Chain A
Amino acid sequence: MSTPLLQVRDLVTEFATRGAPVRAVNGVSFDLAEGEVLGLVGESGSGKSVTGFSILGLIDPPGRIASGSIRFAGQELVGASGEAMRALRGHRIAMIFQDPMMTLNPVLRVDTQMVEAILAHERISQAQALERCAEALARVGIASPGERLAQYPHQFSGGMRQRVAIAIALLNRPSLIIADEPTTALDVTVQGQILFEMQQLVRDAGTALIWITHDLAVVAGLAERIAVMYAGRIVEQGGVDAVLDRPLHPYTRGLLDSVPANNPPGRALRQIPGMTPALADLPAGCAFAPRCAQAGPDCQQPPPMLRIGGREVRCLRPLAAEGAS
């Protein structure tokens, strides 16, 4: 088996506060193979976005990567020099953000913002760069790319802006794209389109993709593997079908149950009791224990990651695998 493209081991990213530092990412480990699509799922505050930023080295003070390792194509990213990271960003690893209105600079033209992404990593002429940008825009389905390039972000609709962001991410043919909730800020119909298009593009180019979202429905169609995060930890990992059909962690079960579509009409919607804990106030041991129906006294200890079949679950009492492994 070839080495994974990305290997994250025991990543801890913390933020300084008035009191003790808060661990937004609390010991996260996962692998990503070349060309693989991983869905990173969790509620807000679960640490999924921070994980994405940590990989790119975009954690600013008062945050920092406290410990752990991130190996990308054999290169260790944690502690790498600023210049090394800069060379990687936008080149080998690209990122797509959530709100396209805020991510594109409103006072610069689109072509400026696209061409600079190329020229930061390659020495080609302005004209050649522009050509590539026009091609990229066409590939993401933007009509009359030549005209569009001369325009400003506010002249695009939300969906179009996100397409531009996707085009920028693909410009330098990265090996890995980290997409942080790219469709959350868009209309539902546009969401579907973008999802579909992303899928195609990524498949065609053989790019690995980490899709960060809180929406289970989104990952279902898109990802090959899925990792569920809760309070800074991955609580369950595995093939998407296996995890969604036969979840092992009570939290995953709760998430699936609470999706309105999975609830029979006329009955009260199922909810996970309690609330997500504040990261500064985590219980010792399993963070989900206070809300878990099957928690026991041994859940006061941090549960280890159990390996069941090709899957992982961080629970002392994983739900019965029902014969499947």
Chain B
Amino acid sequence: MLVTILRRLAQTLLVLAVTSLLVFIGIFMVGDPVEMLVNPQADQEERERVRVEFGLDQPMWVQYGRFIGNALSGDLGNSFVYGRPAVDVILERMPATLELAALAMIIAIVIGIPLGLYAGLKPDGRIARGIMAGSILGFSLPTFWVGLLLIMVFAVQLGWLPSTGRGPTVSALGLNISILHWDGLKHALLPATNLALFKLSLIIRLTRAQVRENVMLDYIRFARAKGLPTRRVIGVHLLKNIMIPLVTVIGLELGSVIAFAIVTESIFAWPGMGKLVIDAIFQLDRPVVVAYLLITVALFILINLVVDLLYAVLDPRVRLDSSKV
């Protein structure tokens, strides 16, 4: 187990290094690097000053070294727009994105797994076929368009839910979480549902596929041959087996949801990392873009690592490597 963790850690660092190199080359090499660091309104003197100050007259690898050195100490430059360290700006907005992503995943799991289970157990019924057709629709719908429709229907026409913004927050676990507050939940519901739609369809299909694959296997038959009630055969034997691939996929999809929040946050004006980075791209606030990319990459790698560990924990075949007797 330890070996696996160490190996993954090494891989993590490698990926981070490669990504930082790519980002560095992209952001700082393409075009005039000075443009990245100064306010576009700065005059020539200012630019010269910055050039010297940031060592942009130094050879490439020296610059990269400084970039990495700064990055490791948490300094990725200051945001032009906010005038504060880019890292701080990103981290400030991260909880909002994370709670949106979390709510979306919860919705997708709570609705998706039972539907997928049903569709897998009674695959030829009308309801099951309806569920599957619905799931194809679900992942064909363009997320951003659905977001617009949701706003139009629920906020404008029906007026049930607010169309934009994040609700009031409640302090919990040292963070400000809005979904624990009723009004906050109302604000989060539309964007979270929008975000959840795609994943919901995916989970339904995955669960169904897993169920169909597993019901044919011998251990299910054997469980029935023991005279176990169906409730137990499905709820314990089947579920525990399909949980393993399910959990790994869900974990990986969490990273994807966090990234895709960019779109949802833009539409619903949700003050998270995603909206920040889109604005930053348009405002040419490069340090913020760089900070976002590196932080998100690190987040994904972390999630991947956790998922790998979780897999080992859930599957006893992986966990217990003892030799047979």
Contact = CB atoms under 8 A, between A and B. Distances in A.
A152 B316 CA distance: 7
Contacts of B224: 58, 86, 89
B227 A106 contact: no
A155 B320 contact: yes
Contacts of B229: 86, 120
Interface of A: 56, 58, 86-91, 94-95, 97, 99, 102-108, 116-117, 120-121, 152, 154-157, 160, 165, 168
A218 B201 CA distance: 52
Contacts of B222: 95, 97, 103-105, 165
Interface stretch (B42-50, B84-92, B138-146, B233-241): B233-241
Given A58-B221, A103-B218, A116 B226 contact: yes
A86 B224 CA distance: 8
B3 interface: no
A89 B225 contact: yes
A155 B226 contact: no
A161 B41 CA distance: 76
Contacts of B221: 58, 97, 103
A164 to B, nearest CB: 11
Interface of B: 217-219, 221-229, 232, 236-237, 240-241, 244, 314-317, 320, 322, 324-325
Contact of B225 (A87, A90, A154, A160): A90
A94 B314 CA distance: 30
Contacts of A116: 226, 228, 232, 236
Nearest to A171: B226
B225 A156 contact: no
A107 B240 contact: yes
Contact of B324 (A90, A104, A155, A165): A155
Nearest to A89: B227
Contact of A102 (B219, B225, B320, B324): B219
Given A97-B221, A99-B218, A116-B232, A106 B226 contact: no
A120 B229 CA distance: 7
B225 A152 contact: no
Contacts of B324: 154-157, 160
Contact of B315 (A99, A103, A107): A107
A108 B325 CA distance: 18
A138 to B, nearest CB: 15
Contacts of B237: 105, 108
A121 B218 CA distance: 21
For A87, A104, A106, A165, the residue with the greatest tally of chain B CB atoms inside 10 Å of its CB is A106
Given A103-B222, A105-B219, A116-B232, 15 more contacts: A58-B225, A86-B224, A89-B226, A89-B227, A90-B225, A90-B226, A97-B221, A103-B218, A105-B241, A106-B219, A106-B241, A117-B228, A155-B320, A156-B325, A157-B325
14 contacts: A86-B228, A90-B225, A97-B218, A97-B221, A97-B225, A102-B218, A103-B219, A103-B222, A116-B232, A117-B227, A120-B227, A120-B229, A155-B324, A157-B325
Contact of B226 (A102, A107, A117, A152): A117
Contacts of B227: 86-91, 117, 120-121
B317 A120 contact: no
Contacts of A168: 226
A56 B244 CA distance: 31
A156 to B, nearest CB: 6
- Interface-central residue, B218, B236, B244, by most chain A CB under 10 Å: B218
A99 B222 CA distance: 11
A105 B322 CA distance: 18
